Amino acid sequence: MTEKPTIEAYEGPAGGWGSAKSVARHVFEQGAQRIAPHLHQQNKPEGFACVSCAWAKPAEPHPLEFCENGLKATAWELGTPTIGAEFFAKHSATELRTWPDHDLEKAGRLTEPMRFDHATDRWMPVSWDEAFAQIGRDLQRVDPHRAVFYASGRASLETSYLYALFARMFGSNNLPDSSNMCHETTSVALPQSIGIPVGTVRLEDFSTTDLCMFFGQNTGSNSPRMLHQLEEVRKREIPVITFNPLRERGLERFTNPQNPLQMATGQEIEISTQYHQVEAGGDLAALTGLCKSVLALDDAAREGGSHRVLDVEFIARHTHGFEALESFLRGTAWSEIEAKSGLTRAAIEEAAFVYARASSVLAMYGMGLTQHRNGVATVHMLMNLLLMRGNIGRDGAGICPVRGHSNVQGQRTVGISEKPELVPLDRLAEQYAFEPPRWEGMSTVDVCRAVVDRRVEAFIGLGGNFLRAVPETGMMEESWPDIDLTVQIATKLNRTHLINGRSAWLLPCRGRIEIDEQASGPQAVTIEDSTACIHGSRGVAAPSRGNLLSEPRIVAGLAAATLPPNPKIDWDHVTQDYARIRDLIEATYPDQFERFNERMWTPGGFPRPLAARKREWNTDTGKANFLLPQNAGLTSHDLDLKDGDLRLITLRSNDQFNTTIYGYRDRFRGVEGTRMVLFISETDMRRFSLSEGQEVSLVSEAGDGIERVVAGLRVTRTNIPAGCVGGYYPECNPLMALAHFAKESKVPAAKSVPVSIRI
């Protein structure tokens, strides 16, 4: 299956020839004929929105507005292999469970709706009518409190809106989505700080900013098109400061594969001008140190009679809580900041000095902040840093949570949320003449807990690989077969489809890149990017072989079969022409989606109105709030480790999209042919007497007496702070205890899993 693993330092830049080669290989392996003609239509105003990351798509796109990983995603969706009745007659679920994630998806696109036959341990083809009718009958027997409507962030605004409506008409607010494992920390923290749940940065801000800061976001692998903006920023000699335990290549240097001169000459652009290898979970302390330094610089300016460093006018007019922050900062000792961040005072002051001199600052962050116990407090502290100098609501400044899936932000915008207070329920009640449920639904970790406690009767999955993506995968797989009804809407086979409820269905859908022909003609859909701009996306490739339906049709089919007829919505009619769904969205959210159908093809997308961009604050105080950590500890993990324990960061490689494993080449980290590695510092190798290449196990140290082990990890010497180790997600997910999540947002704390090494 895999070649002999090799691990050696990668000397090249991000992008460059390595990226070009990697792309060519994926296009070739997946079937070049079907893919190549469509590459130039990726992220173009009239083309399709990439199915990989959520980064913004510019109004004036580059000739080829895509990246290595976007191409892999396109190739993976459009690849020619398919799997149908023959494949499933040959392979039982028990057998397929022994296949690695990579091989399962690589087998090809699903081709027909299927029902799982427990007697023969196999998926069996059924008709769509039969599937809808039986699922509808099964669902009607389920208590809405015990039904879960999960979504992974790729589905369009149209699909997502219908899906949320279906769940609520069924009587359930159990609408968790992948952002519960991802940027939910942002969605909780930012409304408290600045009154909106999303970032304020737009693409144009990169042309006027004076400083870019990165906290725990791996641009080169996970949002590589942002390297275009960073290239431009660096050409203007704007500094970039990074906080990350690992030296991520895409944040160090970059060669633009679309720039012939750079490619020919091997010219590299330095990205980060300062790189701070903070400890895993050390950002809350590091940010506290940054804020403390800014205060000290302001003290010095005041004493010296020079220009203030704090934006006193902004603080007075627009904020609340500065005095409390000030006394917190003055009362926090540098010794504590240094101990908890793993950085020296001098290093933090060096970053603060550049920050204090920049007039407009952009702060980007990702899972390195959100997937921690104190993630919410950390995002608050980052916001505090920006607010101190009024770095919000003006050009070139703002906060930029870099989102994951291509429409994960949009799903929340159109009602996929377990939190009823975030959804305009009264308006829905009026629009569709029904009484929506008002109770608080389950988040992803709540669902996991409920599955383990046998409190879930039905699980519908709109995309995703739930059982691989969540924590506590061992216990989850054990409990899952006790669910009465499991339905998965998917493009490709994954492990979640091999562990099934009593009545189990697998419904294959078309992908966004494929032409979607309905009664009124070919359809387009819309998505929202990380900068809150809404884009149209039109399928361009012939649909994959087989008996596939589009996602809106599948959701409509399920809804029509399950719900009593409602004169206010004709599920079949609205999915004959998706413009009708957009009209419904506009009727529910008139401020956000004004003239939706007309504006959806605006080049660069049309921006949603965001109050904080105008310095209007929809918070409890009517101001932007400076907020302090609620508990005394200054770390993002707040779990004390026993001597000898380590903090495990679970990581994405450059050859995967979440649980979709494209291959075994993590080029930037020099790992090839395996994913079973343990990234560890030289210091810890000596401390535990380990040698390079040795195989060890990791044991979870969650302190609850449950034994969780991942074996067969190759010791790999890495430039990472002592005390922290790294391993790949999802291979390391069995180590994550369900109870170990961000306190206020319930995002699993995947970046600080307490572990020990067993030899």
Enter the tokens of residue 459: 């699980």
Is residue 480 close enough to count as binding ligand MGD by CB under 6 A?
Answer: no
Is residue 209 close enough to count as binding ligand MGD by CB under 6 A?
Answer: no
Cβ-based neighbours of 117, under 8 Å, separated by 6 or more: 123, 124
Smaller CB distance to ligand MGD: residue 309 or 367? 367
Smaller CB distance to Mo ion: residue 404 or 464? 404
Q: Shortest gap between Cβ of 74 and ligand MGD (angstroms)?
A: 11
Is residue 659 close enough to count as binding ligand MGD by CB under 6 A?
Answer: yes
Smaller CB distance to Mo ion: residue 388 or 749? 749
Smaller CB distance to ligand MGD: residue 619 or 658? 658
List the interface residues with ligand MGD, window 350-369 (CB under 6 A): 366-368
Using CB distances below 5 to 8 A depending on partner kind, what does residue 52 bind out of ligand MGD, Mo ion, none? Answer: ligand MGD
DSSP secondary structure of 362-427: EEEE-HHHHSSTTHHHHHHHHHHHHHHTT-SSSTT-EEEE--SBTTHHHHHHTT--S-GGGS-HHH
Is residue 73 close enough to count as binding Mo ion by CB under 5 A?
Answer: no
Binding mask 623-652 for ligand MGD (x = CB under 6 A): --------------------------xxxx
Cβ-defined contacts of 137-143 (< 8 Å, 24+):
137/561, 138/458, 138/484, 138/485, 138/503, 139/170, 139/458, 139/485, 139/558, 139/562, 140/562, 141/484, 142/457, 142/458, 142/484, 142/485, 143/457
* Residue selected from 71, 169, 182, 310 as contacting Mo ion according to rule CB under 5 A: 182
Q: Which stretch binds ligand MGD (CB under 6 A): 12-20, 422-430, 489-497, 528-536?
A: 489-497
Smaller CB distance to ligand MGD: residue 216 or 543? 216
> 725 and 648 in contact (C-beta within 8 Å)?
yes
Q: Shortest gap between Cβ of 573 and ligand MGD (angstroms)?
A: 23
Q: How many residues does the chain have?
A: 759
Distances, alpha carbon 604 to alpha carbons 47, 535, 537, 647, in Å: 12, 7, 12, 41
Is residue 656 close enough to count as binding ligand MGD by CB under 6 A?
Answer: yes
Size of the site for ligand MGD (CB under 6 A): 62
Using CB distances below 5 to 8 A depending on partner kind, what does residue 464 bind out of Mo ion, ligand MGD, none? Answer: ligand MGD
**CA 757 from centroid of its chain's CA atoms:** 29
In the chain, what is the greatest distance between 2 CA atoms, to the nearest angstrom? Answer: 83
Do the bridges between strand 14-15 and strand 253-255 make them parallel or antiparallel, or are there none, so unpaired?
parallel
Smaller CB distance to ligand MGD: residue 244 or 500? 244
List the interface residues with ligand MGD, window 129-168 (CB under 6 A): 152, 154
Q: Shortest gap between Cβ of 405 and Mo ion (angstroms)?
A: 6
Q: Shortest gap between Cβ of 40 and ligand MGD (angstroms)?
A: 20
Beta strands in 664-717 (DSSP E): 665-666, 671-672, 677-680, 695-700, 709-717
Spatial distance between the Cα atoms of 246 and 167, rounded to a whole number of angstroms: 41
Q: Which residue, among 690, 693, 684, has the nearest Cα to 645 in the 3D structure? A: 684
Cβ-based neighbours of 754, under 8 Å, separated by 6 or more: 639, 641, 645, 646, 647, 648, 700, 701, 702, 703, 740
List the interface residues with ligand MGD, window 4-43 (CB under 6 A): none
Binding mask 714-753 for ligand MGD (x = CB under 6 A): ---------------xx-xx--x-------------xx--
List the interface residues with Mo ion, window 396-415 (CB under 5 A): 404
* Phi, psi values for residue 378, rounded to 5°: -70, -45
Spatial distance between the Cα atoms of 121 and 234, rounded to a whole number of angstroms: 57
List the interface residues with ligand MGD, window 513-552 (CB under 6 A): 551
Smaller CB distance to Mo ion: residue 229 or 658? 658
The residues binding ligand MGD (CB under 6 A) are 52-53, 69, 105, 152, 154, 178, 181-182, 215-218, 221-222, 243-246, 248, 278, 280-281, 283, 366-368, 371, 402, 404-405, 462-466, 469, 489-492, 494, 509, 511-512, 551, 649-652, 656-660, 729-730, 732-733, 736, 750-751
